[in-house]
Structure 1
Amino acid sequence: MKKIAILNNKGGVGKSTVAVQISHGLSKLGYKVILVDLDGQNDSSLFLGITEADYNKTFYDLVDKRSNIKLEDCIIEARENLDLLPNSHIEEINAEFYRESRIDLVLNEKLSDLENMDYDFVIIDCGPQRTRINDAVLCYVDDIIMPVQVEAASVRACGSIYEYLADLRLSPDKITLIIPNMYDQRTKDAKENLEFLQEFFNDKEDIITPPINRRVKITEAGKMGKTVFEYDEEAATQFFNVLERLVKKIG
């Protein structure tokens, strides 16, 4: 079972969109996937067409010491081969994690039953800030996929993830893929920023995937609770190119 975090310390880079597309794409390739939504905005759930009205139990119930809920009671079938573990009360979860003495073991304990559910991939959509939840996620996962919006501020912020890992005394090699996102190949600025990104990681073989072009249909799909594989063939092809790289590296 491969455990992957979708993470960037900067908001607005399309992180939840990438998490959803990768999760559904892997499921369409025949892998059994669970997407764990640990972003306070719940965008991953919404982009799959799942709202609070569709679930009663969430990740919060797993950490609430007053609750006696099993992990399987919190999981929703989102698509064929793709399940979702939604969240609620994200601030309370974060506060509870601050009370844990071994943050490196928290998710191994809370999500231990996943090992017996035959999942091939656990994909975790993380919030954009440094939080105790993200500390726990980074300790738990094997790999990190970092979407980076192809614009100057986002590209130059890449180093902050390495600083974050260093602060947690975790290996920088956990960063397995960088996905240039929202790329507008028509503009000189986007081309220059993509080149800068490639130069920044030129010592890491195959870490940068083909870019995901900026497309209105990707945004439209999310608003409709659909993935690109259900809505836009061209965007789906781009994400399949990313998935090919992902499966080659860690699948």
Structure 2
Amino acid sequence: MGPKKIAVINNKGGVGKSTTSVQLAHGLAKLDFNVLLIDLDGQNDSSLFLGFTEKDYENTFFDLMDPRYPAKLSECIINARENLDLLPNDNIEKINSELHRNSRIDIIMEEILSDLEDMDYDFVMFDCGPQRTKVNDAVLCYIDHIIMPVQVESASVRAVGNIYEYLDELRLSSDLITLIIPNMFDARTNESKANLELLKDIFSDEPDILTEPINRRVKITEAGRAGKTVFEYDEEAADQFFKVLKRVVEKIV
């Protein structure tokens, strides 16, 4: 059957996509699933949040696309944690430019990642940038599920529809959107509570698409800066993500 393929994506920046990608990937690994996290965000934050910088790897996603001597997938993957591997990138602009030359954006990711079928991963997770790019086009044509973090503030909640428009432009089904994670929730503020209720109203016809909110916690930010996940840094934040992970397993496995 192959691995479950998930994109963590939102067309708005600053909503916690990389943080969410890293925590969910490591959380699934801690639940004894074999996970590959593919960092396709221009900031390389997933790699950084796992404690890796460019000096820690030689081959990256772009080397899989080298028209002269494409690297093998196994040569570009590094082990990040037990049961968790990472495929980093070093130049998202180069990847995007190379994809612009390909007329079959709908199948290119299958070709680039064809070796995955012979590898023992249960999940392949993509950390995507916020822009509408050829990279994201290719990812969305490849994956089975979308997990979308949404910051619980007005502009972010209002922008939820953008991903539906994007899928429509690509002629992809909105059924790909499997879970929406209200993120950076602050129960102390009326605005945050009102925006959470607005999200619930927006998805009142499909209430099981929303997870419990992830609270805004300094410890989550600190963990990323330290190159650690919440499971290594803060028990209370880890408990929140485990609740979301339960929903991921229920809906996707």
Please, what TM-score do these two structures have when normalized by structure 2?
0.98
Give the 3-state SS of the residue equivalent to 2:37 in structure 1: strand
1:176 pairs with 2:178: yes
Name the counterpart of 2:45.
Answer: 43
- Where in structure 2 are the equivalents of 1:82-97 lying within 5 Å? 82-97=84-99
Contact persistence 2:23–2:230 (CA under 8 A): yes
Name the counterpart of 1:214.
Answer: 216
Contact persistence 2:200–2:207 (CA under 8 A): no
Residue 211 of structure 1, CA deviation: 0.2
1:117 pairs with 2:129: no
Whole-Å separation in 1 of the counterparts to 2:45 and 2:12: 15
Name the counterpart of 1:100.
Answer: 102
1:144 pairs with 2:156: no
Residue 115 of structure 1, CA deviation: 1.3
Whole-Å separation in 2 of the counterparts to 1:136 and 1:201: 27
Deviates more, 1:100-109 or 1:62-71: 62-71
Residue 63 of structure 1, CA deviation: 1.0
Give me the identity figure in percent.
Answer: 70
Whole-Å separation in 2 of the counterparts to 1:242 and 1:49: 23
Q: Structure 1 unaligned runs (5+)? A: none
Residue 89 of structure 1, CA deviation: 1.6
Name the counterpart of 2:81.
Answer: 79
1:13 pairs with 2:15: yes
Whole-Å separation in 1 of the counterparts to 2:236 and 2:117: 35
One-letter code of the match for 2:154?
A
One-letter code of the match for 1:139?
C
One-letter code of the match for 2:130?
P
Give the 3-state SS of the residue equivalent to 1:37 in structure 2: strand
Residue 68 of structure 1, CA deviation: 3.0
Whole-Å separation in 1 of the counterparts to 2:189 and 2:70: 54
Name the counterpart of 1:194.
Answer: 196
Please, what TM-score do these two structures have when normalized by structure 1?
0.99
Whole-Å separation in 2 of the counterparts to 1:205 and 1:215: 25
Whole-Å separation in 1 of the counterparts to 2:68 and 2:56: 23
Equivalent of 1:248, from 236, 245, 250?
Answer: 250
Q: Structure 2 unaligned runs (5+)? A: none
Whole-Å separation in 2 of the counterparts to 1:68 and 1:194: 46
